[in-house]
Structure 1
């Protein structure tokens, strides 16, 4: 039954998916910012085309979110003048050698899509099948979350594994990224880039290794470009406070300004001043915090951002796999932390880890070597 389930067409996952629109690879970082701030979502796709008039000749080469922009501004060569960095091509933000986007025919199987994801693909670009004479539809894309949600809808196919405790199967990852709250956030830029490329999160712990929060690419994607300044001069704990609010506290904004000037990062300080002293910010900050067009709309990059709280979503080592899957989907997170009763951090369960376990039911081996047995000996 599970084998037949994985043979169904990937087009069945695309029903109701919106058509992708994006920017060309020749567009600037500023162009990407404009689209991000005016769009409904948190990402914009990047396309190359040999013929601009023929949408079928276009090829999606990547995706950009506010996190990409923030981490791009954190590069040493861009800290001195972020305004100059805005004029750079978006291609400079795409990770070299990391194939996060793959095109897949709509007649491909769910198993093919799953294997691409397990190889590191973030999004699958699928042609939209339109029932019209012209039939010149564009593309939609599928994410890891889409596939996990689809598998959950037929979770009985995978019985009894979903009911097993996660500490009884090879699903808890111990190779996780951990920061202490007193560390400088600038020292964690490498972690943030890795979390973005691997679609996971960075755990924040206290002196006793207890989980107190996280910093994830999804949280950063709901901020604006001034988060780059905060990463540059704040501690990890202060950065969490900066990105955790609908709008950063005034004392933190002032602290960022002061420390930037102490480091002679005048243009970065100008960026912070330009945003928080703008008439748009002042007029919106007088509105109710429940008004979606208020501070959060100007602070964030898109209206459909998930909850930006830095509170980490956690589970117990004895939680069942299906419970953790539901927990991740309910909170729109790709990483659920595993903690003991005293909140001591054990590891994490990611979308990729969940998919690896469920894929073991396909009856097929992957091209690359995998452990034959998902159970601990």
Structure 2
């Protein structure tokens, strides 16, 4: 089995992968923000280029290396933290300007030499890739093109494709590796048929918040879940899973969600980041609460949001009980409106991404891959949250099985 897997190289996983969209480490956050919007990418790779003089050949050689990645989640959480610090320091509203923080370099968010990004040669084996992921790597950067006739091009915002001496790069993820292993699943028999419970794959190391807790208290949880490629569970007082605040969904939002996180509850934030854009009713709640807290400066983040021409509820009514108003106006049923849309991955509407402790490993793999997530929530029959299963844990099981052989 190991011989069979070692015959596969990481380049096999690069077929059809697009070249990376990139930013220099010296870029400003505002440039990263605009690039994320214009490219439509969830992540942008961040590159550091150093120059070394070759005395014998008498020319300057540029060495570029991917040192990290950045997404809208990183920028939004950074702005939220700055807003919280300003409030704690009692900074006056007319002195508070979040836009000034966007002039900082992306290095304030992306740490140079981040271990979650690893450069790998195309001929490296699949087993080596799995080992790197088990060590904490999230993205493996691999050269995919080599055109020596192309001149040296400097990485810049005007050229978002990583091109160095005619070399382009792609990266493979945990999802890519798991998807590839699914095609070879018979090699691991009978392990894939075992339950995730019997394999010890259910982890209780997860982030969870109560439905009515302030969304601002989730910032550190969101960052932790973002780093672990998981999510933040939203539960009721009985531990029943209501939904989630997904970094993946937040990454599809824009900087306006900063105001929503600052003012809304966890449950209302789920509605705000729902697919199709934030509901006008929820936007009214955010605006009313920003005014109430004398944070009018953040209203600039919402100035382009459309508002309803008329309505039966006032800003004050929404500010008092936005959830009750939305439940009434949208004719939703249930204590917490559990029947949400796919983007918020509500339990009863998106059962494919939750599983039972007795679910088989291969079934959970298929569920996660089908919904493009790196994790699956584990629930009991009463919807109480038991734990979470992640791609990294699955890969650990496969690697341990190979070692035992």
TM-score normalised by structure 2 residue count: 0.78
Separation of aligned partners in 2, 1:13 and 1:85:
38
Shift of the 96–307 alpha-carbon distance from structure 1 to 2, 3 Å rule, reads farther
1:314·1:339 contact (CA, 8 Å) conserved in 2? yes
1:175·1:347 contact (CA, 8 Å) conserved in 2? yes
Shift of 1:156: 0.7
Task: Return the match for 2:128 from 109, 112, 117.
Answer: 112
Structure 1, residues 230-272: CA drift from partner, whole Å, max 9, x if none?
1111100000000013121112111111212222222212222
SS at match of 1:308: helix
Which gives a bigger RCO, structure 1 or 2 (Cα 8 Å, sep 6+)?
1
**Corresponding residue of 1:362:** 402
Q: Does 1:221 align with 2:256?
A: no
Q: Does 1:348 align with 2:388?
A: yes
**Corresponding residue of 1:295:** none
**Corresponding residue of 1:34:** 34
Shift of 1:5: 0.8
Shift of 1:158: 0.8
Shift of the 132–50 alpha-carbon distance from structure 1 to 2, 3 Å rule, reads closer
Separation of aligned partners in 2, 1:203 and 1:64:
23
Q: How does 1:306-345 map to 2 (within 5 A)?
A: 308-312=343-347, 313-345=353-385
**Corresponding residue of 1:68:** 74
Shift of 1:2: 3.4
Of the structure 1 ranges 46-55 and 195-204, higher mean CA displacement relative to structure 2 is found in: 46-55
Separation of aligned partners in 2, 1:9 and 1:215:
36
**Corresponding residue of 1:373:** none
Shift of the 12–132 alpha-carbon distance from structure 1 to 2, 3 Å rule, reads farther
Q: How does 1:118-267 map to 2 (within 5 A)?
A: 118-130=134-146, 136-267=166-297
**Corresponding residue of 1:83:** 99
Q: Unmatched 5+ residue regions in structure 2?
A: 53-58, 87-95, 151-164, 308-340, 348-352
Shift of 1:56: 7.4
Separation of aligned partners in 2, 1:116 and 1:23:
24
Separation of aligned partners in 2, 1:55 and 1:322:
48
Shift of the 338–55 alpha-carbon distance from structure 1 to 2, 3 Å rule, reads farther
1:3·1:362 contact (CA, 8 Å) conserved in 2? no
**Corresponding residue of 1:370:** none
Shift of the 364–125 alpha-carbon distance from structure 1 to 2, 3 Å rule, reads farther
RMSD: 2.5
State which structure, 1 or 2, has the greater radius of gyration over its C-alpha atoms.
2
Shift of the 95–207 alpha-carbon distance from structure 1 to 2, 3 Å rule, reads farther
**Corresponding residue of 2:21:** 21
1:124·1:142 contact (CA, 8 Å) conserved in 2? yes
TM-score normalised by structure 1 residue count: 0.83
**Corresponding residue of 1:283:** none
1:205·1:211 contact (CA, 8 Å) conserved in 2? yes
2:67·2:114 contact (CA, 8 Å) conserved in 1? no
SS at match of 2:35: helix
1:185·1:236 contact (CA, 8 Å) conserved in 2? yes
1:82·1:271 contact (CA, 8 Å) conserved in 2? no
Shift of 1:119: 1.6
Shift of 1:63: 0.8
Q: Unmatched 5+ residue regions in structure 1?
A: 279-305, 366-377
Structure 1, residues 321-340: CA drift from partner, whole Å, max 9, x if none?
00000000000111100101
1:186·1:233 contact (CA, 8 Å) conserved in 2? yes
1:56·1:138 contact (CA, 8 Å) conserved in 2? no
1:55·1:138 contact (CA, 8 Å) conserved in 2? no
SS at match of 1:142: strand
SS at match of 2:396: helix
Shift of the 250–320 alpha-carbon distance from structure 1 to 2, 3 Å rule, reads same
